[in-house]
Amino acid sequence: MKNNIILIGFMGSGKTSVGIRLSYYLKQTMLDTDKWIEKRQKMTVSQIFADKGEEAFRAMETDCLRELIGSADHQIISVGGGLPMREENHALLKKLGKVVYLKITPEAVYERLKSDTTRPLLQVENPKERIEILLKERAPVYEACADIVVEVSGKNFEEILKEIAYKVKGCVS
């Protein structure tokens, strides 16, 4: 098993913003699977969804994990919110390192993302309802996939970082 810290969780749970700060805090480099895919494809995630479809994007996520297993170690890796929903990705995530689930309420997600236009899955008439439905379906999968769960709603970055660092060391969930 590699020694990375992998951040999973719903869109808007702060995987990227927490990941960047965690990388400074732990002096490790940070990588984001969405950015990795966008660089490879020379397209944004929204363009990939529109031109190639969601399934193609999901296959790219799995390819990304496979490549990272060969190359990434002692890094912070933030993964797209839907990536853990593919069963075959679970074993790949475990091989990559400690999986940390950033748990958030649907209300907090909505507040953070109500003006966002970069998440194709939320460009619908009723994003609030979409968030609730998706989160209900995904939360048990995130829980099952995680070594560590950190509740992020109502906490500042410092509290979140300290909790992750503490729990990763002891790996207590």
Please report whether residue 45 would count as binding ligand S3P according to CB under 6 A. Answer: yes
Please report whether residue 139 would count as binding ligand S3P according to CB under 6 A. Answer: no
Task: Specify the stretch interacting with ligand S3P by CB under 6 A; choose among 65-73, 94-102, 116-124, 147-155.
Answer: 116-124
For residue 78, the 8-state DSSP code is E
Measured on CA atoms in the order 27, 32, 33, 37, is the torsion positive or negative? negative
Beta-strand ranges (E) seen in 82-162 are 97-103, 148-151
Task: Specify the stretch interacting with ligand S3P by CB under 6 A; choose among 103-111, 117-125, 152-160, 165-173.
Answer: 117-125
Centre a 10 Å sphere on the Cβ of residue 39 and count the other Cβ atoms it contains: 10
Selected from 105, 120, 128, 139, the binder of ligand S3P by CB under 6 A is 120
Q: Which residues pair with 78 in a beta bridge?
A: 7, 32
- 74 φ/ψ sector (left φ>0, alpha ψ -120 to 50, else beta): left
Selected from 14, 19, 82, 84, the binder of ligand S3P by CB under 6 A is 82
Q: 61 to 80, contacts with ligand S3P by CB under 6 A?
A: 80
For residue 99, the 8-state DSSP code is E
Residues 13-32, mask of contacts with ligand S3P (x by CB under 6 A): --x-----------------
Please report whether residue 103 would count as binding ligand S3P according to CB under 6 A. Answer: no
